[in-house]
């Protein structure tokens, strides 16, 4: 956006705007300029500075990223910044470094030696702090445990852990010796573990006896045992951390206790010298029903992008207490709970359990207790907080917050404004970040000291990210028209492939548009060049010849004062091609009946237009979500179409939600 264009936009009022109970916030036309107090200490202080840096990053990427990469610790300097032969990318060619060394060793010889690296709180209430010196020691010790149990450079190691510091220790220990880790989300089933083990031929699994979730014990070791039944497995060793203390099966010759193995090793483990393109981790995309898709990331480029985005997007400082609420099993937990913050020398907070255990204010209490200053969470969680009520938040002092972030899906303007006003007190910049498992880090995001923000848009590309919004032929679409979001140039943290399947990598990401990356999301640009993410292309409905983004309908529904959350899917319709089915959760105290259903249909019709009028409103006490908070729309599509449910449901937070939705008769 030019300075001239920005000047025409009204600035945000100093006093936070509070919507009236009957006013829709689907369309929020204000532009919120960066807080002047934040700008004073920001690394990037203006749109002119951002624009200059961005233009250099896409026009002269070797110069830009070569300069940025010098902030990392290199064991051997790189000779060439980038090589590109679509779809194969190499960054910092010839350079050697170690991720563990960058996250730990370089911080323990100065003031950060005794600084908190990880602050942890368990769901039952235990508290631990690991300084950089202590974390370095634990990582070195466990790296030696891995070596003692036969792990070598290039071996694949499965990590299936609760949200405890040892999960980060295990990841960093793998990077220290050059093993390739694959973290599996603790909510996945035994079958999911088996599939991933078989795909990457892992020889070792790191797990715990169990973890805590809403006061109950999740039997992690039991799932591992079930996954390894039979003789056809590559796994030779299972290392078990004692977290909950319940009785578990120990397979002699295969299973060993974490704490006992530590008795045999010391705390000296030099960081392996690894090529910049050495495989770092494999992360399997969730929700797929076929063969698991192992996204491969490598060392140098991934680490730089994680580091840079923490530096410029979160603007992390030495005195920040930073909290990313994602599980370590997702890419957000990799990039923005472990690798990025620790490479920056920041303090990263980890919490083990559910946001509403034992009460709905657990997150707000944690922010208050630890004086969290940077808070990064998902729109789904924000809408849940809205549903639970403002009174939970108002019990706590959140004045320590200076920056807020969102991740995982587009945030609707209603939730953005609530987050801005209630959580941020009207003063905190919000960085609404778009990226994917495949991209490794933020791709489209505000820069908090520079970018004027609009509720609902991820705004502008990050450095080195050249975005196109195109039609099926690859032509740029006009402003405010929906198209396919493509990335036209390689970037440092881009995936390097799908593990063991080069053909699938080519066909999935590089076959739609020659030389351009496309992973299935749709978007539009407004007249200021801001990018609005529509969502997955396969979530775009074709209603009577009109393309309709489900996210747009969901946002319209949530803008109604009675609605807490919604999910929209299509079902086959003989006349229109697809009908619009809306699953709606109402706010506490609201009566969900046919009258409200009719009112919601009229509301969507008024906000978007007749073509978007829902064919059916289904009220639900809750929507089917994974433990990470993502709505499982795949299951909702099957319910809406009257199909038999199929595919893995083991990641569901509450399986009873599906049973209730399937039994529901409809609008009343």
Q: What is the DSSP string of 451-500?
A: --B-TT--BSBPTT--EEEE-TTSPBPPTT--EEEEE-S--TT---EETT
Low-confidence ranges of the chain (pLDDT < 50): 1-24, 287-289, 665-668
Instruction: Report helix, strand and coil shares of the chain as percent, to nearest 5.
Output: 30, 25, 45
Q: What is the DSSP string of 605-661?
A: HHHT-GGG--SEEEE-SS--BBTTS-B-HHHHHHHHTTPPP-S--TTBS-THHHHHH
Residue 537's pLDDT is what? 78
105, 363, 381, 382 from 565: Cα distances, Å: 45, 19, 10, 10
Spatial separation of the C-alpha atoms in residues 581 and 113, rounded to whole Å: 55
pTM of the predicted protein model: 0.84
Spatial separation of the C-alpha atoms in residues 583 and 640, rounded to whole Å: 9
> Which helix (H) or strand (E) is 502 found in, with range?
helix 502-509
Residue 632's pLDDT is what? 81
- Closest C-alpha to 518, from 543, 550, 483: 483
3-state secondary structure of 328: coil
Residue 168's pLDDT is what? 98
Residue 535's pLDDT is what? 78
Measured in degrees and rounded to the nearest 5, phi and psi for residue 342 equal -70, -35
- Closest C-alpha to 619, from 587, 593, 644: 593
Residue 653's pLDDT is what? 63
**Radius of gyration of the chain from its Cα atoms, rounded to whole angstroms:** 24
Spatial separation of the C-alpha atoms in residues 299 and 478, rounded to whole Å: 38
Taking phi over 0 as left and psi of -120 to 50 as alpha, with beta for the rest, 132 belongs to alpha
Quick one: tokens of 235? 């796994």
Spatial separation of the C-alpha atoms in residues 401 and 321, rounded to whole Å: 9
Quote the CATH superfamily of domain 544-663: ANL, C-terminal domain (3.30.300.30)
- Reading across the β-sheet that carries 116-121, which strands appear in turn? 127-131, 116-121, 347-351, 321-324, 374-377, 403-406, 430-432
Residue 99's pLDDT is what? 98
- Closest C-alpha to 47, from 103, 95, 6, 99: 6
Residue 188's pLDDT is what? 80
3-state secondary structure of 262: helix
Residue 13's pLDDT is what? 39
Cis check for the bond before 90: say yes or no (omega within 30 of 0): no
Domain with CATH 3.40.50.980 in the chain: 357-432
- DSSP-derived pairing of the beta strands 403-406 and 430-432: parallel
Contact 585, 622 (CB under 8 A): yes
Give me the architecture of the 357-432 domain, per CATH: 3-Layer(aba) Sandwich (3.40)
Spatial separation of the C-alpha atoms in residues 73 and 60, rounded to whole Å: 23
Domain with CATH 3.30.300.30 in the chain: 544-663
């Amino acid at each position: 956006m030019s300075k001239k264009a920005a000047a025409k936009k009204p600035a945000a009022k100093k006093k936070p705007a509070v919507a009236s109970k009957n006013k829709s916030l689907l369309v929020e036309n204000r532009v919120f300029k960066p807080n002047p107090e934040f700008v004073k200490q920001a690394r990037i202080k203006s749109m002119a500075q951002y624009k200059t840096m961005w233009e250099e990053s896409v026009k002269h990427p070797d110069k830009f990223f070569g300069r940025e990469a010098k902030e990392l610790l290199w064991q051997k300097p790189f000779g060439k910044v980038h090589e590109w032969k679509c779809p194969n990318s190499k960054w910092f060619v010839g350079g050697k470094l170690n991720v563990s060394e960058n996250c730990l060793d370089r911080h323990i010889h100065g003031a950060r030696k005794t600084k908190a690296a990880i602050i942890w709180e368990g769901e039952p209430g235990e508290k631990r702090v690991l300084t950089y010196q202590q974390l370095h020691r634990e990582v070195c010790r466990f790296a030696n445990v891995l070596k003692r149990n036969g792990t070598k450079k290039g071996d694949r190691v499965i990590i299936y852990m609760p949200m405890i510091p040892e999960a980060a220790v295990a990841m960093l220990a793998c990077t220290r010796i050059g093993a390739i880790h694959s973290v599996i989300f603790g909510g996945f089933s035994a079958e999911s573990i088996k599939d991933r083990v078989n795909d990457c031929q892992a020889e070792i699994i790191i797990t715990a006896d169990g973890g805590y979730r809403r006061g109950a014990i999740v039997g992690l070791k039991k799932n591992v045992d079930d996954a390894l039944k039979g003789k056809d497995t590559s796994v030779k060793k299972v290392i078990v951390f004692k977290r909950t203390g319940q009785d578990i099966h120990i397979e002699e010759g295969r299973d060993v206790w974490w704490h006992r193995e530590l008795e045999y090793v010391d705390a000296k483990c030099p960081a392996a010298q690894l090529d910049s393109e050495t495989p770092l981790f494999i992360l399997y995309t969730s929700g797929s029903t076929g063969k698991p898709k192992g996204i491969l990331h490598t060392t140098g480029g991934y680490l730089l992008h994680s580091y840079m985005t923490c530096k410029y997007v979160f603007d992390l400082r030495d005195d920040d207490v930073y909290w990313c609420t994602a599980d370590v099993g997702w890419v957000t937990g990799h990039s923005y709970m472990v690798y990025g913050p620790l490479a920056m020398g920041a303090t990263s907070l980890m919490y083990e359990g559910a946001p509403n255990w034992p009460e709905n204010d657990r997150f707000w209490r944690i922010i208050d207790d630890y004086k969290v200053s940077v808070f990064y969470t998902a729109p789904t969680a924000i809408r849940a907080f809205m549903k639970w009520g403002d009174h939970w938040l108002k019990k706590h002092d959140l004045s320590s917050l200076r920056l807020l972030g969102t991740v995982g899906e587009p945030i609707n303007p209603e939730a953005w404004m609530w987050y801005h006003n209630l959580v941020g007190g009207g003063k905190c910049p919000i960085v609404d970040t778009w990226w994917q498992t495949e991209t490794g880090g933020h791709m489209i995001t505000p820069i908090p000291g520079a970018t004027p923000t609009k509720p609902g848009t991820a705004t502008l590309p990050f450095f080195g990210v050249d975005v196109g919004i195109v039609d099926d032929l690859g032509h740029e679409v006009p402003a405010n028209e929906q198209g396919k979001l493509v990335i036209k140039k390689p970037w440092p943290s881009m995936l390097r492939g799908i593990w063991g399947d080069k053909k699938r990598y080519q066909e999935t990401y590089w076959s739609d548009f020659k030389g351009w990356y496309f992973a299935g999301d749709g978007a539009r640009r407004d007249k200021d060049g801001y990018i609005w993410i529509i969502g997955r292309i396969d979530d775009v409905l074709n209603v009577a010849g009109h393309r309709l983004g489900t996210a747009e309908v969901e946002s319209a529904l949530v803008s109604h004062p009675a609605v807490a959350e919604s999910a929209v899917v299509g079902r086959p319709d003989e006349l229109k091609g697809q009908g619009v089915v809306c699953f709606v959760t109402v706010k506490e105290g609201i009566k969900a009946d046919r009258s409200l259903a009719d009112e919601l249909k009229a509301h969507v019709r008024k906000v978007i237009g007749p073509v978007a009028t829902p064919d059916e409103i289904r009220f639900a006490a809750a929507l089917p979500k994974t433990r990470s908070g993502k709505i499982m729309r795949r299951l909702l599509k099957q319910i809406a179409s009257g199909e038999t449910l199929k595919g893995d449901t083991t990641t569901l937070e509450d399986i009873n939600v599906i049973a209730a939705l399937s039994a529901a008769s409809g609008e009343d």
